[in-house]
Amino acid sequence: MNTYLDHNASTPLDERVLDEMMPYLRAHHGNPSSVYREGRIARQAIETARQQVAQFVNAHPSQVVFTSGGTEANNLALKGLVVAPRCVAVSAVEHASVLAPAQQSAIEACQLVRIEVDNDGLITEETMSRALASSPELVSIMLANNETGVIQDVAHWAEMVASTGALFHTDAVQAAGKMEIDFSSLGVQLLSLSSHKLYGPKGVGALVLDKRIELTAQMLGGGQEAGYRSGTENVAAIVGFGKAAELASLELQSRCSSALALKQKLLRRLSEVEAVIVFSGQAECLPNTVFLAVPGIDGETLLMEMDRAGIAVSSGSACDSQKSGVSHTLLAMGVDEELARCAVRVSIGKDNTDQDIDVFMSAMVQQIKALQENTMLAWA
Ligand SMILES: Cc1ncc(COP(=O)(O)O)c(C=O)c1O
């Protein structure tokens, strides 16, 4: 059996989520915009899911706009403001789905400011003050990083940004299901979610928004989702997302504590292996993520060897948005390019066991040894 340790890339569909979705794939085929019974059944299912997602992040159901995923939610937040910001500030470690629309806005009209991070991947008072000196009208900082798992103090930065009158968006795609998220108390106006990071189906997500913000839809048509996002809703996927959000709320504590116990075991075992470097070791991180490197061993090569051994992990380059083959997050943290090429990400999920960590560690030790020997032979 394969050992899956790449839950930040995607999670398996929870059986309970699939059960909830099946009637909307098999039986209830109605269009949620239709007024007859079949349509009303589909509409009701969407509204139940909206309540579940809203409850998951302590928002009002009317604040939840379903999208095709985290990417679309981020694009809507970054590009959709009716009054286009003259200056946008985004952190240097954002996901491509924030960086790319921000860069596009910069080409078209506005100024783009990069909020730098320290060696652990954290925004600091100094880097934030420097960014705010350019008077951005929209700031986007992710709640937790997909590569390092580093958690930014979004509530603190949002308070600081609010005092300037600017709007705040947070990409909570990786944080969701791995830490408590409270839209109301975070102080942000826009928050992105994705279902497939929390054991729901792929191709569905949400933008949670403060209704006072005026957004222009990026997808025009029939005016679904209160006009924010036209297109016939993917009812089964939305139902699955709702159920996944409900389960993530109910099981948050147990999922976090079991992931953390496995992460601590993994870190303990890694510390016994000479030369392994763990990034962002001093920062507060998600309970499931470890980003590491073995200097001199290419991350992509290690990943492929692990794949041959039946173990799924990510390399730093797979996470890179800039297609340079090196993690832009690590480069922003000041890690040198050669070491960044060695990065490998392990992300633990709710169904991983102690044994998965043992399997990973023994394959890792074996591969490191073999790859080091190969490197030495190449030098001989
Ligand atoms: C931090 C972050 N934001 C956004 C996304 C995009 O979400 P989706 O895959 O639903 O488009 C991802 C996916 O990896 C992510 O890790």
Domain chopping of the chain, boundaries: 3-10+252-379, 15-250
Q: Which residues line ligand 1 (CB under 6 A)?
A: 69-71, 74, 95, 97, 142, 146, 171, 173-174, 194, 196, 205
Asked if 3-10+252-379 and 15-250 have one fold, the answer is: no
Q: Which residues of the chain have pLDDT under 50?
A: 321
71 CA closest ligand 1 atom index: 11
94 CA closest ligand 1 atom index: 1
Centre of ligand 1 to C-alpha 27, Å, is 31
Return the residue whose CA atom lies nearest to atom 14 of ligand 1. 9
- In the structure encoding, which two tokens stand for residue 239, read together? 């139902």
Return the residue whose CA atom lies nearest to atom 5 of ligand 1. 70
- Beta bridge partners, 83, equal none
Centre of ligand 1 to C-alpha 185, Å, is 23
DSSP letter at 82 equals S
Residue 170: the pLDDT is 98
Residue 322: the pLDDT is 52
Are 351 and 12 spatial neighbours (Cβ–Cβ below 8 Å)?
yes
195 CA closest ligand 1 atom index: 10
Centre of ligand 1 to C-alpha 159, Å, is 25
Residue 105: the pLDDT is 87
Residue 320: the pLDDT is 55
- For residue range 144-169, what is the model confidence (pLDDT) as tens digits? 999 999 999 999 999 999 999 999 99
What homologous superfamily is domain 3-10+252-379 in, according to CATH? Aspartate Aminotransferase, domain 1 (3.90.1150.10)
- Beta bridge partners, 140, equal 90, 169
- For residue range 101-116, what is the model confidence (pLDDT) as tens digits? 999 988 887 999 999 9
Return the residue whose CA atom lies nearest to atom 16 of ligand 1. 146
Handedness of CA 346, 262, 243, 3 (dihedral sign): positive
Please list the active-site residues.
Answer: 319
Q: What is the number of other CB atoms lying within 10 angstroms of the CB of residue 241?
A: 31
Centre of ligand 1 to C-alpha 272, Å, is 33
Residue 266: the pLDDT is 98
Are 170 and 183 spatial neighbours (Cβ–Cβ below 8 Å)?
no
Return left, alpha or beta for 203; rule: phi > 0 is left, psi -120 to 50 is alpha, else beta: left
- For residue range 307-350, what is the model confidence (pLDDT) as tens digits? 999 999 998 765 554 556 799 999 999 999 999 999 999 999 99
Q: What is the number of other CB atoms lying within 10 angstroms of the CB of residue 206?
A: 34
Residue 380: the pLDDT is 52
Residue 359: the pLDDT is 97
- For residue range 213-230, what is the model confidence (pLDDT) as tens digits? 999 999 999 999 999 999
| Domain 15-250: assigned CATH number | 3.40.640.10
Are 11 and 196 spatial neighbours (Cβ–Cβ below 8 Å)?
yes
Residue 167: the pLDDT is 97
Are 321 and 137 spatial neighbours (Cβ–Cβ below 8 Å)?
no
Helix or strand run (H / E) with residue 36: none
Model pTM score: 0.96
Amino acid at 41: I
* Burial readout 171-196 (b: 16 or more C-beta within 10 A, e: otherwise): bbbbbbbbbebebeebbbbbbbbbbb
Distance CA 315, CA 81 (A): 35
